[in-house]
Amino acid sequence: MKALKIVVGSIVALIVLLVAIGAVLPNNSHVERSIVVDARPATAYAVLNGFQQFRKWSPWEGLDPNTKYETSGPIWGVGAKQAWSSSNPNVGTGSQEITASVPNQSVTIKLVFSDFNSENSATYLLAPEGEGVKITWTNDTVFGDLVGRYFGLMMDKMIGKDYELGLSQLKTLLESLPKDDFSGIDLQVVETQAAPILYLADSAAATEAATKLGAAYGQIGGFIQANGFKQVGAPMAITRRFDDATRFWEFDAAIPVDKREPVPPADSPVKAAMSYSGWAVRATHTGPYENMEPSYAKLIAFKTAAGFGDNGNSWEHYVVDPTTVAPEQIKTDIYWPIK
């Protein structure tokens, strides 16, 4: 009996000691790793401000090929969320959500682990470094209990190697992407809503595109006036096909209107439809129409870096009437549907 009391007393004393030590241990931990990448900060930001490319460089991707992923919220930027679920204890179940981002400078992510009593966040910090970018990946944890504080002593050792592997794989991905500099153009990821349009299908060589567009808008405008419609947005041109070699363009000239009725008769060249509904990359081009090719190239480079797939036909909104301003002040919004 005496021996049992000694054992019990020792255990109690040990527990008290562990609790006492735990009470004075830090209730938080900070881990960070950095790497220099031969890529532009804008390219790194495009990749890290969403989850389209995450599985291509994640250090945990290979731990369980049966991991289930689900995305929600916006497709890119603040609010974008990715949840995962795995029976592998090294992967577990949790989610990550972008809570803040500063273009080409930083992305902050809230991390939730279902079996870990803590508040967790990760941050990607981007800074120009010579011809490339220095990426610093940090992890900050606030522990919710004394046990977590002991884990805090091992956090750097536990996840430091994972961060190093992830950054190495991120470097490989970033350096394989287009080198185009798209930081100097206004690029946004937007969610568009379907709206009624009246359109007229046509085609044209590059030299006659403006003339044919003008004629098509004239026909649509006549139909609008004759049938009690009201124009509610900038004229559009929806690209059905464009041949890079011949510069031949097949398009729908379209005007957003306030309603869907009356439906044009079957033999009318003017048709009614609904515009695209969904996510798109929008690039704002300022300047003459004939100089839009570099803006398209930058949009496509951004889309590729962010990992977006195509989701339909691109279109242009002619925001400014070219007859009212100088050519260098013409404004055009280019939309490219994505998924």
Q: What digits encode the pLDDT tens for the residues 179-225?
A: 999 988 999 999 999 999 999 999 999 889 999 999 999 999 999 99
Tell me the two tokens of residue 239: 């690209």
Q: What pLDDT score does 67 carry? A: 94
Q: For the chain, where do the domains classified as CATH 3.30.530.20 start and end?
A: 26-176
Give how far Cα 117 sits from Cα of 74, 88, 145, 202, 209, Å. 27, 19, 7, 61, 62
Residue 8 has pLDDT above 70, yes or no: no
Q: What pLDDT score does 218 carry? A: 96
Residue 290: which pLDDT band, with cuts at 50, 70 and 90? Answer: confident
**Which option is the CATH number for 186-337: 3.40.605.10, 3.40.50.300, 3.60.110.10, 3.20.80.10?**
3.20.80.10
Sign, CA dihedral 256-257-260-264, equals negative
Question: Looking up tokens 């209107």, which residue turns up?
Answer: 257
Residue 26 has pLDDT above 80, yes or no: no
Q: For the chain, where do the domains classified as CATH 3.20.80.10 start and end?
A: 186-337
The average pLDDT across 291-307 equals 95
Mean pLDDT score of the chain: 89
Residue 81: which pLDDT band, with cuts at 50, 70 and 90? Answer: very high
The average pLDDT across 281-294 equals 94
Residue 143: which pLDDT band, with cuts at 50, 70 and 90? Answer: confident
Instruction: Name the 3-class secondary structure at 215.
Output: helix
Q: What pLDDT score does 14 carry? A: 37
> For residues 271 and 297, what is the distance between their CA atoms, to the nearest angstrom?
31
Residue 292 has pLDDT above 60, yes or no: yes
Reported as a single tens digit per residue, the pLDDT across 15-25 is 444 344 444 44
Reported as a single tens digit per residue, the pLDDT across 311-326 is 999 999 999 988 899 9
Residue 172 has pLDDT above 50, yes or no: yes
Architecture of domain 26-176: 2-Layer Sandwich (3.30)
Which ranges in 177-270 belong to alpha helices (H)? 209-226
**Sheet harboring 132-143: ordered strands across?**
28-37, 132-143, 118-129, 106-113, 93-102, 81-85, 68-72
Q: How much of the chain, in percent, has pLDDT values that exceed 90?
A: 76
Q: What pLDDT score does 168 carry? A: 98
